[in-house]
Amino acid sequence: MITIEVFLVLLVPHLIWLFNNDFITVTYGLNRTGLEGSGILDHISNPLLFLSKQIGILVPFFFLIWLLAKKIKFKLNIKDKKLMFLLFINFMPIILMFLTSLITGSKIRTMWMTPFYLFFGVLFLYLLKSQINLKKINSFLYGFLFLFFLSPILYSYVSLSQTDKRTDYPGKEIAMKIQYVWDQDFDKEIQFVTGDEWKAGNLSYHLKSRPKWEGFNNKEILNNSSQFICVGDVCLGRY
């Protein structure tokens, strides 16, 4: 009972914040899953795609485990509470997300699952503690260093060869130009932005006054605003 009480006490501030902010984080996540446009085939293809990508993410981890262990052999003891805890916190999130994608047909973003893999190392070290061969530690270190340097090299290659990624979005430069246009017509600071969450969000972050994002273009807000301008599909102004 104590753990449940502590859990509820810790959860209450988050629930209050969600209510006060119209569950914006939940709606944002749902919008990114493409749930509204999902079809029958998505109930099959999206879960399988999700599962295959998660396996792909874990391949380097299993490669390092293979380098460290003498042989991959273990027994599952359901009476071992520590083992059951580790299995639960590592695999239950994957199962729940897979079922979510299967039932709703939603597309689960690959990186959403990565925080749940933090204890995969603890789980497999616990399972294979009797199989770990310290004589193979050099092979493990070489493998680790190889993967450690391979990751930034691949990222740099993709970043340099493909310039249409969101990481290449010139948000700061666009904000400076829009700020200049605004300053030519108005002498007061920008208070809100509306429009596409990515473009408007970048403006909100980079503009001097850090205006509030008011969702997609809201005619009511624009009609009631004292000053506003629209640039493409993004509008900004004052209340």
- pTM of the model as a whole: 0.67
Residue whose entry in the numeric block shows the structure tokens 């399988």:
48
pLDDT by residue for the chain (239 residues), tens digit each?
788 889 889 999 999 999 888 888 888 787 778 777 778 888 899 999 999 999 999 999 999 988 888 777 777 788 888 999 999 999 999 999 999 999 988 888 888 888 889 999 999 888 888 888 888 888 889 999 999 999 889 888 877 787 777 777 888 999 999 999 899 988 889 999 998 888 888 999 999 899 988 887 677 778 888 888 888 888 989 88
Q: Are 207 and 190 within 8 A, CB to CB?
A: yes
Burial of 193 (0-12, 13-18, 19+ CB in 10 A): buried
Residues β-bridged to residue 228: 237
pLDDT at 113: 87
Domain boundaries, the chain: 2-161, 169-238
Cα–Cα distance between 73 and 128 in angstroms, integer? Answer: 7
Eight-class DSSP state of 112: G
pLDDT at 166: 74
